[in-house]
């Protein structure tokens, strides 16, 4: 639409100059007036579209939809007007009379107003676009700084999770000895005793821990805080297959059995170099969610979201509360591209090579303009393809800029009114006789 508006301004300005010249010099004054008036109407339509575009930054969601519909009507009017212009040109070329000489003065007056409004509007929008680029550069640093802060905090939590499960699996000698006794069947420890140890671990652990499970070396559940799991085969689960001495962290997933978001942390149980099984703790990732839902530096419309490279939302969204929905926008694509091109996996961690990333501009599912940034969650997060997305509404980001533009347009309107008054008196004093003679 910007190209259309600029084209209208450029064409209408040229038409104004041509109209003054041709109206005074042409022998037949009747054919130009109506044609010029149609170009003037076309310009007014473009001006309305400009104001609609600005006002959409301030309007509510429903009003934006209404204005988009009105904008389509204006485009239809412009199209009909263009068709009529083509018809007028055809009539002029065929020598048909389409206007009267008495309309010439009025048309020139309208074209003068058009030229003034076009010039002031074009200047305002030109500086608006330049100022917008400056604001975008400023917001780029701001958005990435906030996103990096959230990402670093989550990376620290992942490191703490691994330390926690490592401490559990090495410091709790009673559990290790009990698992060894159960598997050797020497009667030194029973399943019931191991169940009590796990129950005590969950009670004394973090509030978000809700399930502790021990697998034997074949991946069978030998003990759990949920007795219904005993005997199940977990040998094909990621927590068993991907066990490492550094600890394994699963992706965030929806636990249907317990109806909650969950994350699994596992570590192999080893004694004297012998692999005895796997210790697994399942927890609600509330501490990760707390980091993302912190409203500091997010303003009224800002939001921090955790996603994977498939665009799956892993954290509750601020305005809908939805989790595990799909997102698809340029911000998500940027996260995916980072993992494809810039992320390096070491044996224990993820490292992102430095590269320039512009601020993403897109429309969300509510039809509102969004500025966004994404940052990969790096550090001791090998196996986790996570990004923190930061979003903020364009309306909020450009609020001061839009306010300045509206003030400039109001000031321009005052100037236009003053110039119109000057034009009326000047035209009446100097040019009335000239036009009167030229029309005879």
Show the tokens assigned to 158. Answer: 């992942």
pLDDT value, residue 32? 53
pLDDT score at 126: 62
Ordered DSSP codes for 323-336:
-S-B--SHHHHHHH
Percent of the chain exceeding pLDDT 90 equals 28
Indicate the average pLDDT of the chain: 76
Domain extents in the chain: 2-135+398-439, 172-286, 298-397
Instruction: Give me the pLDDT at residue 375, please.
Output: 95
Element (H, E) at 97: none
HEC readout, 176-218: HHHHHHHHHCCCCCCHHHHHHHHHHHHHHCCCCEEEEEEEECC
Handedness of CA 70, 73, 79, 82 (dihedral sign): negative
pLDDT at residue 102 in the model: 46
DSSP 8-class letter at 352: E
Query: What is the spatial distance between Cα 340 and Cα 379, in angstroms, rounded to a whole number?
Result: 17
Question: Residue 372 and residue 378: Cα distance in Å, rounded?
Answer: 19
Rounded to two decimals, the pTM is 0.67
Handedness of CA 345, 346, 350, 356 (dihedral sign): negative
Neighbours of 4 (CB within 10 A): 13
Q: Which CATH number fits domain 298-397: 3.40.50.300, 3.40.50.9100, 3.30.450.20, 3.30.70.1230?
A: 3.30.450.20
* pLDDT reported for residue 60: 53
Amino acid 117: pLDDT: 59
Bridge partners of residue 388, in order along the sequence: 306, 375
Domain 172-286 has CATH 3.30.450.20: yes
What pLDDT was estimated at residue 167? 73
Comparing 172-286 with 298-397, is the CATH topology the same?
yes
Give the residue ranges of the chain where pLDDT is below 70.
1-129, 168-173, 205-206, 401-406, 408-409, 412-413, 416, 420, 423-440
| pLDDT for the residue numbered 427 | 59
Q: Are 265 and 247 in contact (CB under 8 A)?
A: yes
373 sits in which H/E element: strand 369-376
What was the pLDDT predicted at 118?
Answer: 56
């Amino acid at each position: 639409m910007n190209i259309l508006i600029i084209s209208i301004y450029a064409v209408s300005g040229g038409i104004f100059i041509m109209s003054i010249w041709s109206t005074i010099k042409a022998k037949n004054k009747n054919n130009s007036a109506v044609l010029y008036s149609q170009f003037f109407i076309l310009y007014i339509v473009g001006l309305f579209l400009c104001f609609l575009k600005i006002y959409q930054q301030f309007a509510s969601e429903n009003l934006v939809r209404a204005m988009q519909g009105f904008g389509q009507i204006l485009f239809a009017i412009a199209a009909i007007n263009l068709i009529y212009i083509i018809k007028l040109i055809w009539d002029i070329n065929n020598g048909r009379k389409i206007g009267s000489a008495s309309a010439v003065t009025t048309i020139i007056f309208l074209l003068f107003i058009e030229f003034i409004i076009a010039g002031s509007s074009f200047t305002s929008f030109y500086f608006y676009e330049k100022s917008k680029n400056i604001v975008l550069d400023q917001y780029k640093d701001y958005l990435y700084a906030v996103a990096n802060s959230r990402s670093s905090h989550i990376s620290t939590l992942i490191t703490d999770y691994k330390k926690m499960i490592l401490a559990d699996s090495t410091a709790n000698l009673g559990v290790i000895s009990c698992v060894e006794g159960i598997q050797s069947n020497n009667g030194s420890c029973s399943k019931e005793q191991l169940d009590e140890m796990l129950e005590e671990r969950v009670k004394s652990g973090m509030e978000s821990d809700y399930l502790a499970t021990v697998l034997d070396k074949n991946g069978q559940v030998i003990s759990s805080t949920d007795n219904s799991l005993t005997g199940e085969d977990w040998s094909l689960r990621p927590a068993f297959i991907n066990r490492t001495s550094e600890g394994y962290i699963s992706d965030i997933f929806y636990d249907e059995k317990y109806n909650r978001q969950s994350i699994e942390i596992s570590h192999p149980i080893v004694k004297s170099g012998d692999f005895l099984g796997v210790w697994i703790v399942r927890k609600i990732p509330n501490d990760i969610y707390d980091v993302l839902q912190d409203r500091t530096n997010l303003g009224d419309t800002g939001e921090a979201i955790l996603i994977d490279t498939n665009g799956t939302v892993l954290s509750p969204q601020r305005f809908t509360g939805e989790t595990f929905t799909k997102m698809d926008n340029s911000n998500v694509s940027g996260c995916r591209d980072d993992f494809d091109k810039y992320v390096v996996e070491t044996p224990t961690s993820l490292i992102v090579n430095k590269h320039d990333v512009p601020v993403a501009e897109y429309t969300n599912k509510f039809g509102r303009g969004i500025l966004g940034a994404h940052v990969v969650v790096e550090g001791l997060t090998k196996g986790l393809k996570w990004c923190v997305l930061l979003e903020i509404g364009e309306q909020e980001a450009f609020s001061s800029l839009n306010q300045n533009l509206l003030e400039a347009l109001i000031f321009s309107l005052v100037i236009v009114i003053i110039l119109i008054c000057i034009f009326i008196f000047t035209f009446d004093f100097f040019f009335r006789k000239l036009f009167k003679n030229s029309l005879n």
